[in-house]
Amino acid sequence: MFRYVLKRLIQMIPLLLIISFLSFGVSKLAPGDYLAKQALNPHVSAAQIEAERHRLGLDKPWYVQYGLWLYHFSVPEVQPAWPPVTWQWGESFTYNAPVTVVIGQRLGATLLLGIAALLFTWLIALPLGIYSAVRQYSFFDKLFSAIAFVALGIPDFFLALVLLLLAAQTGWFPIGGRMNPSMIVEPGWKQAIDVAWHMIVPTIAVGIGSIAILQRRMRGNLLDVLGEEYIRTARAKGLPEGKVIYRHAVRNALNPIITLLGFELGALLSGFALVENVVGWPGLGFTMLHSMLDQDIPLTMAGLMIGAIMLLLGNLAADLMLAGADPRIKLEA
């Protein structure tokens, strides 16, 4: 397994280089640059704009800019303080600070929301999918299917707007932010409760659509497995129905779901930009969306690379989980 993981990690390096090159090239196709808005300010002279463009390296050809970005992104900086080696990933144009500092200030909020949405999705969708498959065409199966089809047609950002409107009308949920500023002086457990209270709206908005997809996928996979010969043989031998379902059928139906989990893990830090922007959640997606609009290339590229790295690591984790769940799967094969 160690050789397999090491091989996959080495294979990621050229793939990430290709992704970064294409992403940088596409980002440079947009008209203008970061300083285009500054040029509209009558109090800023053209000479100042050109001097700043030269300082940021925006006056160089795009491939030279890519080389400079790649150098700042991949080469660590040596410093006398601890830790002696750090990665800065360049300097954000908008925040005038190292990209790692900007991302680090918002990473925790997005990771917290991602984990909450993942747990909310999987703990609800899997039992619903199993129940619907075992009781196919029952009233609840038809009800869950109808709700899933409706949920699939609702964009997550629109659902977030509806939930915000509901929160504003009823006062049931807080609106915007991660925590009430007045809670800073309160004990840690009260702050944790307030953060969880603020997470309700974005978690539901992000999770509803994923629950619908996962529930339908689990139902379909389990129905396919329940029609296999070995399931009929297990029932014919007199095995308890619960053992047939949960030990034999569900275990084999989970393989495609585990693969889907790899994509879910990849989206933990990059899949909530629109919802974060709508509800005002101070996360990484919210920051990345505005960095793209402002053409803050170092910050945008860092966000894209984080998303790509998480997706590749998620696929690797899914492969390892598949090998652990199904002994028929060989990693080297």
Show the domains of the chain with their CATH numbers.
2-86 (no CATH), 99-325 (1.10.3720.10)
How high is the pLDDT of residue 154? 86
User: What is the maximum alpha-carbon separation in the chain?
Assistant: 86
* pLDDT tens sequence across 21-78: 999 999 888 888 888 877 778 888 888 888 888 888 888 999 999 999 999 888 887 7
Residues 91-106 have a mean pLDDT of: 89
Across-strand partners of 86?
Answer: 77
Q: List C-alpha distances in Å: 213 to 82, 151, 160, 210, 220.
A: 46, 9, 18, 5, 11
* pLDDT tens sequence across 296-328: 999 999 988 988 898 899 888 888 888 877 777
Q: Are 109 and 176 contacting, i.e. CB atoms less than 8 angstroms apart?
A: no
How high is the pLDDT of residue 270? 66
Name the phi and psi angles at 85, rounded to 5: -125, 130
How high is the pLDDT of residue 332? 57
The Cα angle at residue 256 between residues 255 and 262, in degrees rounded to 5: 95
Report the 3 state secondary structure along the chain: CHHHHHHHHHHHHHHHHHHHHHHHHHHCCCCCCHHHCHHHCCCCCHHHHHHHHHHHCCCCCHHHHHHHHHHHHHCCEECCCCCCEECCCCECCCCCCEHHHHHHHHHHHHHHHHHHHHHHHHHHHHHHHHHHHHCCCCHHHHHHHHHHHHHHCCCHHHHHHHHHHHHHHHCCCCCCCCCCHHHHHCCHHHHHHHHHHHCHHHHHHHHHHHHHHHHHHHHHHHHHHHCCHHHHHHHHCCCCHHHHHHHHHHHHHHHHHHHHHHHHHHCCCCCCHHHHHHHCCCCHHHHHHHHHHCCCHHHHHHHHHHHHHHHHHHHHHHHHHHHHHCCCCCCCC
Confidence check: pLDDT of 103 > 60: yes
* pLDDT tens sequence across 222-262: 999 998 898 989 889 888 988 889 888 998 888 888 888 88
How high is the pLDDT of residue 79? 74
